[in-house]
Amino acid sequence: MASAVRAFVNSPTGPRTTHFWGPVANWGFVLAGLADTKKAEDKISGPMTGALVVYSGLFMRFAWRVAPRNYILLACHTANAHVQAYNLQRWARWQYANDLDVGVEASKEA
4-47: pLDDT as tens digits: 888 888 888 788 888 788 888 989 999 999 999 999 999 999 99
Give the pLDDT band (50/70/90) at residue 100: low
Give the pLDDT band (50/70/90) at residue 108: low
Residue 45 gets which letter from DSSP? -
Tell me, what's the pLDDT at 68? 86
Residue 41 gets which letter from DSSP? G
User: Helices in the chain by DSSP H: which ranges?
Assistant: 2-9, 18-36, 46-65, 71-109
CB 30 within 8 A of CB 83: yes
Tell me, what's the pLDDT at 82? 98
82-96: pLDDT as tens digits: 999 999 999 999 999
